[in-house]
Homo-oligomer: A and B are copies of this chain.
Amino acid sequence: MDIQLTIAGRRDLTGQLYRQLRTAIVDGRLPARERLPSTRDLARQLGVSRKTPLEAYERLIAEGFLISHAGDGTYVAEGLAPAPVSTRARSVASPKAAAVWKRVPEALSMPKPGTQLTYDYLGGVTDKALFRGDVWRRCINHALRVQARGRGMYHDPGGEQELRLAIARYVGFNRGVTCNWQDVVATQGAQQALDLAARVMVNPGDTVAVEEPGYPPVRSALLALGARVVPVRVDNEGLVVSALPDHARLVYVTPSHQFPLGMPMSLERRIALLEWASARGALIVEDDYDGEFRFEGRPVESLRSLDRSGVVAYVGTFSKTIFPELRMGYVIPPESLATDFLKAKQINDWHGNSLTQAALARFMLDGDFGKHLRRMHRYYAERREALLGHLEGELSRWLEPIAPVAGIHLAAMLRKGLSEDELIAKARIESIGLYGISRFYAGRRARQGIIFGYGDISVAAIHASMSRLKSVLASLSL
């Protein structure tokens, strides 16, 4: 036997020997029909008790790697090793992913949180210190007690009934979305809801439309399904419906608070979009990702509440109202697609996290979610006002904010001659984290600007950072 065997230390000697022999057999270094040394010889050679090779051989015999001929020693079994390396090198191929994945960008990740930044306007984050962790803990512990009962088994793909009920009530009361609890599909965040919509609608090669600028993850989800994704420009009334590609099967919109620019879609555009979709049997995916926090005037209610033809899938999330790593969202598909959404959900992950779903249902039905929203609304209103005060005041020479009627971020365009990259880099030196708008354009970097997320920055920090930012802006080449 022409292989090197080594035993180290005093632990798991049998295992060490077993693994070395097995690897040698599988790699072809110990060829078929090779006779192994006797256990007595091998024990002596390795300086171990005979028990060690005996047990290793027994295990390899039991597994079929070795064959024992009574009275004639132990042999390597046949047909286990791969073909000799010379022919093998030609024929081994690694699996390659399906063609669509080349089109899907690798880094959808959020900008790394600037732990070392004094002021950070990162969007899509929330302040957990303002969340009633004690109330939530009670809800989770309630859900644990409920979960401990009964058999361990798969649940309904649509989610826990209590949560679907709580969501149906909530959207009915707050967003004018009338539905039964059976219409609600609880998802792992809005991302899964968007993916379900895409999967249900898209045939490979289908044309779909997204807002430009818009939300990159939805674009990736559509690309991964082989869709032809057409970015459609937005103006100050939201999506330009007349610019939609004629044969689109799906249109993704953020009518309450356009992502990332922040303006709401006008009522005329809403009606026009509904008409456009119902004439074609296209699906409108309405992503109402932070419409809970509204600040001015009466909100126009959701597209879904205006929909008389059953063309809107309404998507909501708790990522902005609670926190993103909760991974809770929902979709209310139109009736014609309800069954297929449930099929797709079951294929994605069978059903969501029952524990968090049950806890969230309790949190909502007990009224704690409503209380939390009202509290957060006050915080966000103050932050928005502080931020707008600066942007529309002493910073208006450089920045042109788009005052949002809703949400937890606002966009400010850079006035002519300023460079987004330069501003972001110089602000970072002053320990201010700013994030550009241009990365939300799929096509040409049409406009430059900054997204100010105020989900996790205090009013005091806003004031302090804005005076620093003024110095940064004043130092920039115009």
Q: Which residues of A pack against B, CB within 8 Å?
A: 19, 26-27, 58-59, 62-65, 77, 79-83, 91-101, 104, 106, 108-110, 113, 122, 124-128, 131, 133, 136-137, 140-141, 144, 147-155, 157, 176, 187-189, 191-192, 195, 199-204, 206, 217, 220-221, 224, 226, 249, 266-268, 271-272, 274-275, 277-283, 297-301, 306, 308-311, 322-327, 334-337, 339-340, 343-344, 346-356, 455-456
Contact = CB atoms under 8 A, between A and B. Distances in A.
Best-buried of A127, A176, A278, A335 by chain B (most CB within 10 Å)? A278
Contact of A327 (B226, B310, B351): B351
A188 B350 contact: yes
A384 to B, nearest CB: 18
B94 A281 contact: yes
Given A92-B278, A153-B323, 7 more contacts: A19-B176, A91-B278, A96-B336, A101-B343, A122-B153, A128-B147, A189-B349
Best-buried of A83, A147, A176, A353 by chain B (most CB within 10 Å)? A353
Nearest to A456: B151
B92 A347 contact: no
Nearest to A28: B308
A275 B82 contact: yes
Kindly list the 10 A-B residue pairs having the minimum CB-CB distance in the complex, ordered from nearest.
A152-B323, A93-B281, A126-B152, A188-B349, A94-B336, A64-B267, A97-B340, A95-B283, A192-B349, A353-B353
A151 B221 contact: no
A271 B64 CA distance: 11
Q: How many copies does the complex hold?
A: 2
B94 A309 contact: yes
A218 to B, nearest CB: 9
A185 to B, nearest CB: 13
Contacts of A151: 113, 125-128, 456
A114 B79 CA distance: 48
12 contacts: A80-B267, A82-B278, A113-B151, A113-B153, A128-B149, A128-B150, A153-B324, A154-B325, A155-B325, A221-B347, A349-B349, A353-B356
B127 A195 contact: no
A199 to B, nearest CB: 7
A178 B154 CA distance: 30
B128 A93 contact: no
A226 B373 CA distance: 43
Contacts of A154: 109-110, 124, 324-325
A231 to B, nearest CB: 18
A313 to B, nearest CB: 8
Nearest to A153: B125
A477 B77 CA distance: 47
B200 A93 contact: no
Given A94-B311, A95-B337, A297-B62, A152 B324 contact: yes
Contacts of A155: 325
Nearest to A350: B191
A353 to B, nearest CB: 4
A300 B149 contact: no
A445 B12 CA distance: 47
Given A201-B95, A310-B94, A144 B133 contact: yes
A195 B267 contact: no
Contacts of A353: 188, 327, 352-353, 355-356
